[in-house]
């Protein structure tokens, strides 16, 4: 396994040379890298996808839940959590500005995998009904802010806000065609409404949708931007909270083990305690 020898400064120092690893040690360290990546990808595909499904799943799952009031608000608030924690884990311990992108990327890939293997193959829902949201745009901005600002607090303030704020425009580009108007039974419907209506979910009556209702809106047509700004505001705090949680999760605390258990497990020496 080849280790790229990047000369990163004029003295010819590389990360490996400064780390003091011998070539063979560096090879095993690279194997370790592969193992860690092999753990990170499925672990966060599983944990993050579960988190998203059970906190804002309905908005993310169905095209006819993607409204202007709640979806751009609740989805980024929930979806910033794991990326923020991963950012802390990768940055604080390894100075890798990729944590948020890792989270957002595995989420989008695994979501589409589910859409294909479960939604389409098993229950037969058309892909249009389950187009998910993506947070890669916001996550990339968070990682970029971190590499420039190198400070979690400023990252929270600027990039946490950006994460929430760009959720609406960055997803609208992908979903705009689904908001075309159609006339159905003498009433207006968006294509998204029609998709949800045409391909029925037996256990999802129309009223179950938690979406914008009624007509009176103070800001008129800018409902979505108000939601985006509010989402950005909340995301500032969410980012910092989850950054701290990521740091907490990186701790190496060992609690004291009882002598009986230790000797039971094979620890003979008293010195160990």
Partner 1 sequence: MRTRTVQFYDVHFSKTDVKVNERFELTGKFRLMEDWPDAVTPPDIVFVSSVSPGPTIARVETYLNGEPARQSFAKLELGRDYDFRMVLEGRTPGSSHIHPSISIKGSGPLVGPGQWINISGDAHSFAFPIKTMTGLQIDDLQTFGLTNAIGWHVAWLAVAAAWLLFWLVRPLFLPRWLVLQKGREDLLVSLRDTGAGIIVAAIVLGMVFGGYVRANQEYPYNVPLQSGLNKVAPRPASPADAEVKVISATYEVPGRSMRLATRITNKGSEPLSIGELTTANIRFLNQGLPAAVANVDPTYPRDLVARTGLELSSDTPINPGETRELRVEATDAVWELERLVSFLTDVDSKFGGLLLLYTPSGKRVIAEMGGPIVPVFTELK
Partner 2 sequence: MSDAALGRTPNVTGTKTFSINYGLFAFAIVALTILYICARLYQQAFGFSMGLDASSPEFDEYWMTLFKIELPVLYGAGALCWTYLFLTRDKNIEAITPEVELRSYFYLTMWLVVYSFCIFWTGSFFADGDGVWHQTTLRDTPFTPSHIILFYATIPIYLFFGVGSFVYAMTRIPAFCRGISLMHVFAVVGPFLILPNLGFNEWGHAYWLTEEIFSHPLHWGFVVLGWCALALAGVLMQIVGRFRELVPIVFKQDAASA
Read off the tokens for 86: 């991963």
Sign of the four-CA dihedral 98, 100, 104, 107: positive
For the bound state, the minimum distance from the C-beta of residue 138 to partner 1, rounded and expressed in Å, comes to 9
Q: Which of 36, 148, 174, 182 binds partner 2 (CB under 8 A)?
A: 36
CA 264 to chain centroid, in Å, comes to 42
201 binds partner 2 (CB under 8 A): yes
Are 195 and 62 in contact by the 8 Å Cβ rule? The answer is no
9 binds partner 1 (CB under 8 A): yes
232 binds partner 1 (CB under 8 A): no
Of residues 100 through 129, those in contact with partner 2 by CB under 8 A are 110-111, 113-114, 117-119, 121-123, 125
For the bound state, the minimum distance from the C-beta of residue 125 to partner 1, rounded and expressed in Å, comes to 6
Using CA atoms, how far apart are residues 273 and 259, in angstroms rounded to an integer? 7
Taking CB within 5 to 8 Å according to partner kind, which of partner 1, partner 2, none is near residue 244?
none
97 binds partner 1 (CB under 8 A): yes
Rank residues 49 and 66 by Cβ distance to partner 2 and give the closer one.
Answer: 49
Angle at which helix 136-149 crosses helix 99-114, to 10 degrees, equals: 170
Rank residues 36 and 272 by Cβ distance to partner 1 and give the closer one.
Answer: 36
Read off the tokens for 42: 């499925």
Are 243 and 80 in contact by the 8 Å Cβ rule? The answer is no
Rank residues 203 and 269 by Cβ distance to partner 1 and give the closer one.
Answer: 203
Of residues 105 through 164, those in contact with partner 1 by CB under 8 A are 105, 108-109, 112, 122-128, 131, 134, 136-137, 139-141, 143-145, 147-148, 150
Angle at 232 between CA 230 and CA 233, to 5 degrees: 65
Read off the tokens for 252: 């190496």
Taking CB within 5 to 8 Å according to partner kind, which of partner 2, partner 1, none is near residue 149?
none
Taking CB within 5 to 8 Å according to partner kind, which of partner 2, partner 1, none is near residue 56?
partner 2
Are 156 and 174 in contact by the 8 Å Cβ rule? The answer is no
Are 134 and 170 in contact by the 8 Å Cβ rule? The answer is yes
For the bound state, the minimum distance from the C-beta of residue 51 to partner 1, rounded and expressed in Å, comes to 19
């Amino acid at each position: 396994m080849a280790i790229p020898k990047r000369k990163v400064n004029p003295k010819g120092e590389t990360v490996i040379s400064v780390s003091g690893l011998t070539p063979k040690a560096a090879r095993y360290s690279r194997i370790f890298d592969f193992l860690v990546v092999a753990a990170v990808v499925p672990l966060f595909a599983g944990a993050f996808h579960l988190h998203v499904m059970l906190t804002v799943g309905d908005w993310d799952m169905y095209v006819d839940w993607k409204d202007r009031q709640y979806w751009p608000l609740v989805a980024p608030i929930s979806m910033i959590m794991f990326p923020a924690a991963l950012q802390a884990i990768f940055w604080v311990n390894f100075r890798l500005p990729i944590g948020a992108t890792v989270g957002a990327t595995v989420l989008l890939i695994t979501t589409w995998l589910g859409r294909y293997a479960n939604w389409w193959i098993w229950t037969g829902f058309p892909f249009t009904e389950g187009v998910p949201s993506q947070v890669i745009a916001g996550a990339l901005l968070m990682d970029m802010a971190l590499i420039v600002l190198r400070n979690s607090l400023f990252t929270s303030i600027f990039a946490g806000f950006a994460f929430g704020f760009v959720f609406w425009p960055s997803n609208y580009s992908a979903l705009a065609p689904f908001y075309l108007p159609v006339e159905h039974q003498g009433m207006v419907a968006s294509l998204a409404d029609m998709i949800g209506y045409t391909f029925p979910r037996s256990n999802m009556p129309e009223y179950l949708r938690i979406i914008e209702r009624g007509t009176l809106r103070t800001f008129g047509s800018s409902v979505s931007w108000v939601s985006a700004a509010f989402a950005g505001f909340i995301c500032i705090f969410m980012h910092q909270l989850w950054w701290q949680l990521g740091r907490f999760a990186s701790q190496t605390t060992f609690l004291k083990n009882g002598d009986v258990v230790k000797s039971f497990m094979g620890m003979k020496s008293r010195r160990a305690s």
